[in-house]
Amino acid sequence: SLSFCQVFLECPLECCLQRNRLRSHPLPDQTICLMATKIEKPDLKKNAWERNSLVLKSFDCTSEDNEQIISLLATALENPVKQNEENTEQKEADRAICAASTAHQADQTCRRIISQTMKEAKDKNVLPSEMKSLAEELNKLKAQFLEDLRQGNNLRNQVCIQNEYSDPATSEMSSFQKEATNVVNKYILK
């Protein structure tokens, strides 16, 4: 039963900077400039959900603008946002596909390995300043591992050859775990 609308005040950057300088506690100019690059004007062609938008020039407000704002609010209140109806069958099908995805399963396993590895590193008193570097290195290793998996590259052919009777996915994950352990050992054995 909620409604949505937005009023976008369009203001040139120079005007924003000037107004900011007049405030009792002005923000740094770079903050205003950064916000000017990030704030996006409503675009009905791109985003249908922005149909209840009003763009006003912030330097010359008129009584006509007030009427437009009241009209916008009235329209929004008369047309509450409809809740999306959940398609539970589609949701379950999507979950099944995701669960069956090798890449998804590998990602979940890698996350568990990294979490466990980070805990072990902490237990072995790796310095907090080095924990961040360790996490970055492990996540980089995971990203490369998953990209190779998606591309169909065998990361460790030699492991698969040595373990020809084992499941290739298990060998790959075992290989990832060994690499993660090697990364941690660099930090522990310093």
Q: So what's the pLDDT on residue 18?
A: 95
DSSP class of residue 125 equals T
Is residue 109 situated within a structural domain? yes
SS3 164: coil
Mean pLDDT of 159-166: 42
Do 57 and 36 belong together in one domain? yes
Between 62 and 69, name the one with better pLDDT: 69
CA angle 36, 40, 43 (to 5 degrees): 155
Domain range for 182 is 90-189
Do 155 and 135 belong together in one domain? yes
Please state, in angstroms and as integers, the Cα–Cα distance from residue 69 to each residue in 2, 17, 51, 66, 176, following that order.
18, 26, 14, 5, 58
The residues near 137 (Cβ < 8 Å, ≥ 6 apart) are 183
Of 46, 78, 110, which residue sits at a domain end? 78
Is residue 175 situated within a structural domain? yes
Q: So what's the pLDDT on residue 165?
A: 43
Of 57, 78, 99, which residue sits at a domain end? 78
Give the pLDDT band of residue 26 (cuts 50, 70, 90). very high
Average pLDDT score, the chain:
82
Q: So what's the pLDDT on residue 155?
A: 47
Ramachandran category for residue 152: left, alpha or beta (phi over 0 → left; psi -120 to 50 → alpha): left
SS3 9: strand
Do 62 and 102 belong together in one domain? no
Do 61 and 101 belong together in one domain? no
How many domains is the chain partitioned into structurally? 2
Is residue 72 situated within a structural domain? yes
